[in-house]
């Protein structure tokens, strides 16, 4: 919470080159199934929440933008490619997965359902396994070193000497 009791949210891209801060109540969290959102997120749908009416700021870097239609720009990290924004004339929405604590931003509505992929509603019925559920995965995970930015703000990113820098 901020000094005036407004909720505060932070987030950013996978590599940490771009970070943001939102102070205030977020708009409805949603998922959009339209084909443009599927392409922009490289996924089945785009999970977004509006920052209209909040105090929103980029605290490190700024996204590159792609004009995806005559009305909408899409913001993304130019280093790691993380989708970050949907920017329309009536306001900006941020990608839910880019927040440091996305678990508190459950979608409450779906848009563009005419383009919803036919298998999306059945995804939760697929068999599910933890990352360490088989021996091969366990051995692979033991050798993995993450260069992903942590889910909190840092004074500097990437730390000197890390391999998380663009182009490495």
* Ordered structural domains, the chain, with CATH: 8-143 (2.170.150.70)
Is a pLDDT exceeding 60 seen at residue 59?
yes
Q: How many CB atoms lie within 10 A of CB 133?
A: 9
Whether the pLDDT of residue 168 is over 70: the answer is no
Count the neighbouring beta carbons within 10 Å of the beta carbon of residue 89.
6
Looking at residues 55-74, what average pLDDT do you find? 97
Average pLDDT over residues 27-49: 97
Helix (H) or strand (E) holding 110: strand 109-111
Residue 117 pLDDT > 80: yes
pLDDT band at 30 (very low <50, low <70, confident <90, very high): very high
Share of the chain above pLDDT 90, in %: 73
**20-24, 32-36, 137-141: least confidently modelled range:** 137-141
């Amino acid at each position: 919470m901020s000094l005036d009791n407004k909720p505060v949210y932070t987030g950013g891209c996978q590599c940490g080159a771009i970070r943001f801060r939102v102070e205030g109540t977020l708009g409805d969290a949603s998922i959009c199934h339209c084909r443009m959102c599927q392409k922009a997120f490289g996924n089945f749908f785009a999970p977004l929440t509006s920052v209209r009416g909040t105090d929103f700021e980029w605290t490190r870097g700024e996204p590159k933008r792609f004009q995806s239609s005559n009305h909408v720009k899409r913001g993304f990290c130019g280093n790691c490619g993380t989708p970050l924004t949907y920017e329309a004339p009536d306001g900006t929405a941020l990608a839910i997965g880019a927040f440091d604590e996305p678990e508190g931003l459950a979608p409450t509505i779906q848009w563009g359902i005419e383009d919803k992929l036919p298998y999306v509603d059945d995804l939760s019925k697929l068999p599910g396994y933890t990352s360490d559920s088989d021996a091969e995965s366990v051995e692979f995970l033991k050798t993995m070193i993450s260069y992903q930015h942590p889910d909190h703000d840092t004074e500097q990113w990437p730390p000197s000497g890390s391999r998380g820098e663009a182009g490495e």
